[in-house]
Structure 1
């Protein structure tokens, strides 16, 4: 009986091994893309009069999003259907192509092999409906103007020159899209002048959306000749839409006017001899405060200007909501600091206080800077500068603290226009340790009488600091990699100003130091010069 039991177990083990499935071994992975063997019509055909195009490959292929990826220049305005038949792809156009025109069909990666989806490379077909092929070509690179980084899939277009050209409504005559290195090439164009414009074209409608698409252009016409011409464009955001009031938000205590885009400056004139305190919030809205007896309606005239210098005027009737009950509900009074609490603060500092309401009273004698247990200095002894809305205060001073800088704000030392105050606060900052930071210095060469801004930005292109003279020195730089750039500040307003494609106005130039700069702790890099005669 025992022998029969062992025999049964042995049989089960053998059967289990026999039934075990093992993945079949295959050959090497196919990494070879499909090759175009021939086409109908053949590449570079002239006098083509048909409306069907067929491509023949050396293996089975599939089609991937061809309606988005196939670029036909000049734009054919000719709908088509497509079929995949084993080793071939067929395009059937609704109508014949325009006579005496050279067409380029660039398929991108729209056609791939069946097995591993390797895309066919450099798949392009050129033909002419006339007796010759156009030979003009323009190529170049597209980058973001602010970061100097190449832009992938930007639309680059050649437009017919016209006094009424409107790229928000007119598509380019010839166009191409950039590769991952920002390079573009527009080939087989008619040899004549064009307007060269590039844009993001996020929705791929080949029209310019001024609200959220970057744009770049060459001022003068470009000549597409038989010799290749190389152009470099920087794209920039330029919201040239007209100012308008998007909505108003009336409350008991305040009245907010919200605009459709960012505000650079706002000037308010009160029309009926009444005044109201107000602030600019987030550069998008004006908030007026109901703090004193005034007529039921306050009439104001606003002049609003954006960063492009585009201004607009509007007249607004401010009417606050009626109060219900005895006690008026107020928005809490709040204060923020720059730098934020617990961030390192240099002994030689520039410090900012910002409130969400205008300040009507600040006791600069009771508010004190504490350097140690024996050293207290009133705010009145430091350099103070208010903004026009009286809700931002810049403080410049010096502390002798060894480890911690403190600010003492007694209760009642700051009162808003609504009469509320802040609780007592003691705000602390560790003293910045010089040994933990680096220094970068240099000069701007061949600047002559130019006005400029020297900026140090981190790897995310966040501005560390801006300086306005030469020689320059950046101090207290955290360890890391940085880019150094210079802005040619043509209008001397100490900020970068964008351009306007509609007015053919270029943005202010931004030129980058050619190498990334590694800043090390407790280390100085000197003589990092920006030579304007060589920077591009």
Structure 2
């Protein structure tokens, strides 16, 4: 009797547990309908309320997908205190905090509420209410662009946020007061904003922190204050990366017979001053390390004036006293790499990169081979170091006669051709191939005008591997031209080089400086690809400058009087 009673009790418990468990139904046709909101408490656009919790009732069982990130609440509240729960067809949100007076709150659920069977998200799910007697109705809208877009622009996790003027926080220190998600076309609209003055930002929130990370995320900001006393449209942001960590020297110390200077980030400009630099002392720089090499050791401390500048414009000047003592530390091996695999027409340009300054070159074992028995010697007149104080990048330039019909030309250097400042020789021989192109197989020219901007410009031709093929600097002209090109598909990129320093300058939030504009050629299909074939000449490939960051002014139209 007791066994029977135990069995019946077990079956009843099992049935109750099965009924109580919220799970995905099995079988039947696929559910493609999104959950529909049937009721909300408070009701949408309610006035003069300060709810402690929000309850949403749907027409089917639902669940929440990462609501702490997916539900956008504006203006800013302490989201860490908010509790989200979903049970059957009801979502409950406990706020656990006081709301501000006379403020319109917006809960934009985006795709956080989905049905339990097929994860169909509720569409256009938004709840608006006010703690005062009116609903704020001002909106801000515009477009997001990227200075250096990927082949397929991805607007996922791109956000736009605004902060009231006088707020002590910004996009790097706290989430914004009002926030909007950018849609798949790069457009955004922020609604129900309170009348006031704001600072505006946009960024790609890759880590979901609702703040921008200057070291790793693309972002932009508007310099001017936005006066939001009416709807504001046509606001543009141009996103790009800009690490605003100021450059600084972390440490300096001897390294064997040499002297190392380690910085926190790679400088874009390095200037070292010493009367004997390039004579008795040489240096190399890679990533965040600068190494000074002496020709001979010394017991004296030698002064070097170091000037460093990073990509965003911060600089660091320091006087460093370096020592070059005797050392038993074994020198690093000398290594050399070449820019092999390049194609050329008539003029062969070779670059040999070394890991240490070069002391001497045995030109007798350095030559160009173009068949098994023929070679062209590389003489001293064909070679030069790009920087005589570094001597780690050797450039070789020579003209290959049209009379030579061979296609492949190989730069060769036997072992012990190069000797570095530490008296080490290259242990391996060098063999680097370059392909000669024929004139008949080349495209003639790509040319056009740059519209909507003023020079100076840096115009870049980029291949399908996203590698720079050619570059030209236009100081006083809006017309660009690239001649004698290998056939292929290219992008033409223009940098508006405002300061004429012949490089792109990113933004600097601390110094309130925007990034230099970058824009591209687009074909009739609004794609960046520009195809050119042998013998072709492409003229009038005009490039229209994209809008600058900020509010775009729409030209006023005038009507002639009769």
* TM-score under structure 2 length normalisation: 0.81
Q: Quote how far apart the aligned CAs of 1:86 are.
A: 1.5
CA displacement 1:152-197 (0-9 Å, x = unmatched): 2123111122496644334422112223333322110012231111
For the residue of structure 2 that corresponds to 1:465, the secondary structure is: strand
1:44 corresponds in structure 2 to 45
Q: Quote how far apart the aligned CAs of 1:439 are.
A: 5.6
Deviates more, 1:38-47 or 1:207-216: 207-216
Residues 378 and 66 of structure 1, relative CA distance in 2, 3 Å threshold: closer
2:346 corresponds in structure 1 to 347
For the residue of structure 1 that corresponds to 2:522, the secondary structure is: coil
The 1-side partners of 2:94 and 2:451 are apart by 60
Residues 247 and 122 of structure 1, relative CA distance in 2, 3 Å threshold: farther
Deviates more, 1:141-150 or 1:179-188: 141-150
1:13 corresponds in structure 2 to none
2:98 corresponds in structure 1 to 96
Contact 2:453 2:496 in 1 (8 A): no
2:310 corresponds in structure 1 to 306
CA displacement 1:465-513 (0-9 Å, x = unmatched): 3222444115444634x32221111111211111112222111111121
2:12 corresponds in structure 1 to none
CA displacement 1:31-88 (0-9 Å, x = unmatched): 1110111211111111112211111111111112111111110012262223323111
Q: Quote how far apart the aligned CAs of 1:210 are.
A: 2.3
For the residue of structure 1 that corresponds to 2:298, the secondary structure is: coil
Residues 422 and 247 of structure 1, relative CA distance in 2, 3 Å threshold: same
1:454 corresponds in structure 2 to 459
Contact 1:272 1:299 in 2 (8 A): no
Residues 458 and 369 of structure 1, relative CA distance in 2, 3 Å threshold: closer
Deviates more, 1:412-421 or 1:51-60: 412-421
The yes-or-no answer on 1:442 pairing with 2:444 is no
The yes-or-no answer on 1:407 pairing with 2:415 is no
For the residue of structure 2 that corresponds to 1:295, the secondary structure is: strand
1:472 corresponds in structure 2 to 481
Contact 1:268 1:301 in 2 (8 A): yes
- Counterpart selection for 1:172 from 168, 171, 176: 176
The 1-side partners of 2:545 and 2:307 are apart by 40
For the residue of structure 2 that corresponds to 1:431, the secondary structure is: strand
The yes-or-no answer on 1:359 pairing with 2:358 is yes
For the residue of structure 1 that corresponds to 2:160, the secondary structure is: strand
Deviates more, 1:54-63 or 1:240-249: 240-249
Q: Quote how far apart the aligned CAs of 1:520 are.
A: 5.1
The 2-side partners of 1:282 and 1:135 are apart by 54
2:531 corresponds in structure 1 to 519
Q: Quote how far apart the aligned CAs of 1:114 are.
A: 1.2
2:82 corresponds in structure 1 to 80
Contact 1:337 1:352 in 2 (8 A): yes
Contact 1:252 1:290 in 2 (8 A): no
The yes-or-no answer on 1:144 pairing with 2:156 is no
Higher relative contact order (CA 8 A, sep 6+): 2
CA displacement 1:83-126 (0-9 Å, x = unmatched): 32311111111133111000000111111111111111111111
- Counterpart selection for 2:517 from 509, 519, 524: 509
1:394 corresponds in structure 2 to 395
Contact 1:251 1:321 in 2 (8 A): no
- Counterpart selection for 2:501 from 493, 504, 527: 493
The 2-side partners of 1:242 and 1:112 are apart by 45
Q: Quote how far apart the aligned CAs of 1:297 are.
A: 4.2
Mapping 1:151-162, distance limit 5 Å: 151-162=155-166
Deviates more, 1:103-112 or 1:179-188: 179-188
1:263 corresponds in structure 2 to 267
1:63 corresponds in structure 2 to 64
Contact 1:110 1:119 in 2 (8 A): yes
1:115 corresponds in structure 2 to 117
Deviates more, 1:301-310 or 1:427-436: 427-436
The 2-side partners of 1:533 and 1:376 are apart by 47
CA displacement 1:321-346 (0-9 Å, x = unmatched): 7634xxx52211111111x2x55444
Deviates more, 1:130-139 or 1:81-90: 81-90
Q: Quote how far apart the aligned CAs of 1:132 are.
A: 0.2
For the residue of structure 2 that corresponds to 1:333, the secondary structure is: coil
Q: Quote how far apart the aligned CAs of 1:136 are.
A: 0.8
2:218 corresponds in structure 1 to 214
Deviates more, 1:181-190 or 1:31-40: 181-190
Contact 1:513 1:535 in 2 (8 A): no
Contact 2:298 2:325 in 1 (8 A): no
- Counterpart selection for 2:298 from 294, 299, 306: 294
CA displacement 1:436-458 (0-9 Å, x = unmatched): 66565112245896110111234
Aligned residues: 507
- Counterpart selection for 1:233 from 210, 232, 237: 237
The root-mean-square deviation of aligned C-alpha atoms, in Å, is 3.2
Residues 145 and 334 of structure 1, relative CA distance in 2, 3 Å threshold: same
Residues 155 and 407 of structure 1, relative CA distance in 2, 3 Å threshold: same
1:7 corresponds in structure 2 to none
CA displacement 1:374-401 (0-9 Å, x = unmatched): 5634333436452241111223321134
For the residue of structure 1 that corresponds to 2:68, the secondary structure is: helix
* TM-score under structure 1 length normalisation: 0.85
Contact 1:34 1:61 in 2 (8 A): yes
The 2-side partners of 1:267 and 1:496 are apart by 19
The 2-side partners of 1:142 and 1:173 are apart by 20
Contact 1:147 1:461 in 2 (8 A): no
Contact 1:345 1:405 in 2 (8 A): no
CA displacement 1:402-440 (0-9 Å, x = unmatched): 223233435554321112223584635253344666565
Q: Which runs of 5 or more residues in structure 2 are unaligned?
A: 1-24, 549-562
